[in-house]
Amino acid sequence: MFRPLLDALFPPLCLACGQGKRSRLGLCSGCLEAVQFHGGRGCYRCGRSSTPHRCVPLEHRYQSVLALAAYKGPWRQAVLAVKAGRDRETALDMAGELFALARSLELALPDAVVPAPGAGRDWRRFDAVELVAKKIAEFSAANFLQVFKRLPGRRPQVEMGRDDRLRGLEKFIRYTGGEVLKNKDVWLIDDVFTTGGTAAACTDKLLAAGVKSVSVLVLGN
């Protein structure tokens, strides 16, 4: 109840530059102008709009990738802040923006929304991917289901090169959903799409469990 009053007295600062007053999605108007929003113009395989042919060698079984914006500059800083559990409201705003983009492109609504497996909360205030997935499930009137568990023993993706990220990841992701998603259309939610390794590994396990189709939605790529 005190949040509106506090925001009025001490306006939250931009997650990227730390100086300007926030305009939208955690960013000030200046930083927001620098964000490359894809607006549905991205490649259906990787979601990118500025790197033609980069994803051609990748094999995948998901239907498409929908990314909100390019993961660089101010948008990268905003997404990193959300990933670190620093700004719950911005995470919810990003979820709303991503869902609105999906609907504007007439992406068929899912039967279920599933978060990609992450490191969990540990020291974070919240799990960003889980929160975004829950909100999108609410918007789409779909079931929210956590069916993945990331197993220990693998270095964080951010510490690995492209080839290493794509190699053996499926061994460290466990599907726990049984037949609950059989013959269902699923939206798989993640924060960032880089090599596509996580999306591909999760999709393979979902399809092996009888899922009808998988569409990948991410905040950045």
All domains of the chain, ordered by start, with CATH? 36-220 (3.40.50.2020)
> And the tokens for 152?
């220990």
Q: Is 150 helix (H, G, I), strand (E, B) or coil?
A: strand
Digit-coded pLDDT (tens) for 26-38: 999 999 999 999 8
> And the tokens for 151?
């197993």
Q: In the chain, count of helices (H) and strands (E)?
A: 7, 9
Residue 124, pLDDT above cutoff 80: no
Digit-coded pLDDT (tens) for 77-95: 999 999 998 899 999 999 9
pTM confidence score = 0.86
- pLDDT value, residue 177: 95
Digit-coded pLDDT (tens) for 126-178: 899 999 999 999 999 999 999 999 887 555 655 555 555 555 577 778 999 99
Distance (Å, rounded) from C-alpha 1 to C-alpha 184?
Answer: 40
Distance (Å, rounded) from C-alpha 67 to C-alpha 150?
Answer: 23
Residue 54, pLDDT above cutoff 60: no
- pLDDT value, residue 44: 61
Digit-coded pLDDT (tens) for 60-74: 789 999 999 999 999
The one-letter code for the residue type at 142 is: A
Of the chain, the end-to-end C-alpha distance in Å amounts to 35
Q: Is residue 137 within 8 Å of residue 211, measured between CB atoms? A: no
Residues of the chain with pLDDT > 90, as a percent, come to: 64
74: left (phi over 0), alpha (psi -120 to 50) or beta: alpha
- pLDDT value, residue 196: 86
Q: Which of 161, 155, 145 is nearest to 206 (CA)?
A: 145
CA-only gyration radius of the chain, Å: 17
Higher pLDDT, 6 or 34: 34
- pLDDT value, residue 70: 94
- pLDDT value, residue 130: 95
Distance (Å, rounded) from C-alpha 198 to C-alpha 192?
Answer: 10
- pLDDT value, residue 119: 59
Distance (Å, rounded) from C-alpha 43 to C-alpha 52?
Answer: 8
**Residue 147 to residues 28, 99, 199, Cα–Cα distance (Å):** 36, 21, 14
- pLDDT value, residue 52: 52
- pLDDT value, residue 5: 52
